[in-house]
Amino acid sequence: MRCSAISIATRDSLRKTGRKLSHRSASAARILEQMRRGASLQVSFERGRAVYQLSSGLFVTADTAKAVIDNPNVIGVGDCLFGGVGTSQTFRLISPED
């Protein structure tokens, strides 16, 4: 019989995770601020991976883009690649409040 080891988070690992989440949250807030000013978040695909960019030209990491898209005030505009099936390629902020 083999016991699986249970991993216990250390103070340093929790601190590192907290910094990562804090950075992602701050990045998403900056992107949402740009979207409040009228920018849209656009996704394209290059070499088999998604590339996110604001209409203002600023590139956005995939993690930050996911956090922004998960915001309930951010919606896809319906420009799916294959006739309404799948995810939109352009996202806009529908309400200035978070």
pLDDT in tens, the chain (98 residues): 555 667 777 777 666 666 555 656 788 999 999 999 999 999 988 898 889 999 999 999 999 999 999 999 998 887 776 655 567 889 999 975 54
H or E, element range at 33: helix 11-36
Q: Is the Cα dihedral 62, 78, 38, 70 positive or negative?
A: negative
**What pTM did the predictor assign?**
0.70
Number of H-type helices and E-type strands within the chain: 2, 5
Q: What pLDDT is stored for residue 56 in this prediction?
A: 93
Q: What pLDDT is stored for residue 98 in this prediction?
A: 44
